[in-house]
Amino acid sequence: MRAKTAVVLGAQWGDEGKGKIVDVLSERFSAVARYSGGHNAGHTVIAGGQKFVLQLVPCGVLRAGCKGVIGNGVVLDPLAFLDEVERLRKLGVNVDGQLFVSNRAQVILPYHRMIELAAEHAPGRLKIGTTSKGIGPAYEDKMARSGLRIVDLLQPGLLKTHIESACAEKNAIAHALFGTDPLDPARMYDEYAAAAERVRPFVTDTGRMLHGILADGGSIMFEGAQGTMLDIDHGTYPFVTSSSATAGGAATGTGVGPTAIGTVISVTKAYVTRVGEGPFPTEIHEPVGDLLRARGNEYGAVTGRPRRCGWLDIPLLRYSNQTNGAEWLVVTKLDVLDELAEIPVCTGYETGGKVTDEIPADVTGLEAIKPRYTTLKGWQEPTVGITEFDRLPKAAREYLSFQERESGARIGMISTGPDRDQAIVLPEFAAALEAMHVRG
């Protein structure tokens, strides 16, 4: 019998609409667990006309009875976490007793932000396009075994010693490299010792909790942050995030073993977007790119930065599905393409006079490839709010069938608008989800 678990993640560079999909599917799960990233992620959910922008908190908390878990693979800024919790409380979301933080998660402190901000803007340095929230430096400290974990944050003596030692080192480095003014360790300690007491009620051994849920017959959704092509190992390095955004990160980032992963659900837009720097083979430089940005409201949920828009890239999607072992594909923002008479789809690359569908490992190779397009017929009919596959225009169905056939994963769901109810769930996918559903 397959485990009642599913990983939901982004197929490209994030912003695929995972927030809505996790929210829609979460009613079938006992818990939703975030396994990577930090508050640089932004998941937008619209429920009942109300808009929620979640950064650290898993989307499951918007469903009564569904636990939200922040796993050990996440880096957590205590102040950002507490701000988000207060915003949710004001919106009527019950977070107390429903939201949990791993005692093994790493802590982001002000010197992480200081170093990332200074490094990103230093003359001559390669600009990655980070959000400058301290994510990367926090992961650096984790791997250097010099980081602070949540369990340590809750011990005042250890916290004080750590901050004093870290500030002495980080202040010296930042000043020497970037001319940055030093941070005050005493002030930092007072602020974070106070924050620690407000974080304390949420902290537990979440790995043990998740194992207990499965042992009791419950179900878990693992919520990915960012997207596959931002994964530290498998993405467009070095223009990537600092954590494992692929399905493999769900095991290391929560403490639930890989054999307990039941299925992987990959989320892709009907086109592709990217925020920040880095290679983007199918990026659109013509006015139609501006049309997609306007129709899709393609601006970062956290940063507000305009997203770069491009055509669907089949080799990239196939690579993503292969890397994640994706069984199911969810297609979002189909309605954004409604006005187009023709829709190009990248089906291969040309490089050095040769045709290939291989994804180059290096940035230079990615920047040098020339996409080869197949042009599909558009439908030029509204698809917003359609909830039955057969009611989609014929050309829209053919577009989706082409995407499914070429990508190596089955389409299980199509989003036709931002609200929870604006979606098509196909019968086989519905049956697979029903097998995971735990009735109270």
Which of the residues are catalytic?
15, 43
8 A C-beta contact, residue 260 and residue 436: no
b/e map 276-297, b = 16+ CB within 10 Å = bebbbbbbbeeebbebbbebbe
Residue 403 in tokens? 């995407």
Secondary element (H or E) of residue 411: strand 410-415
Q: Are 37 and 10 in contact (CB under 8 A)?
A: no
Question: What is the pairing mode between strands 354-356 and 370-377?
Answer: unpaired
Q: Closest Cα partner for 69 from 102, 107, 20?
A: 102
Strands in 312-361 per DSSP E:
328-332, 342-351, 354-356
Residues whose CB falls within 8 Å of the CB of residue 152, separated by 6 or more in sequence, listed in order:
107, 158, 159, 162
Tokens for 58, please give them. Answer: 């898993």
Give the integer Cα–Cα distance in Å for 233 and 64: 36
Q: Name the residue type at position 420.
A: R
* Cα 124 → chain centroid: 30
The dihedrals phi and psi of 172, each to the nearest 5 degrees, come to: -65, -45
The beta strands (E) that lie in 213-287 are given as 220-223, 263-269, 272-274
Under a CB-based contact definition with an 8 Å cutoff, are residues 14 and 227 in contact? yes
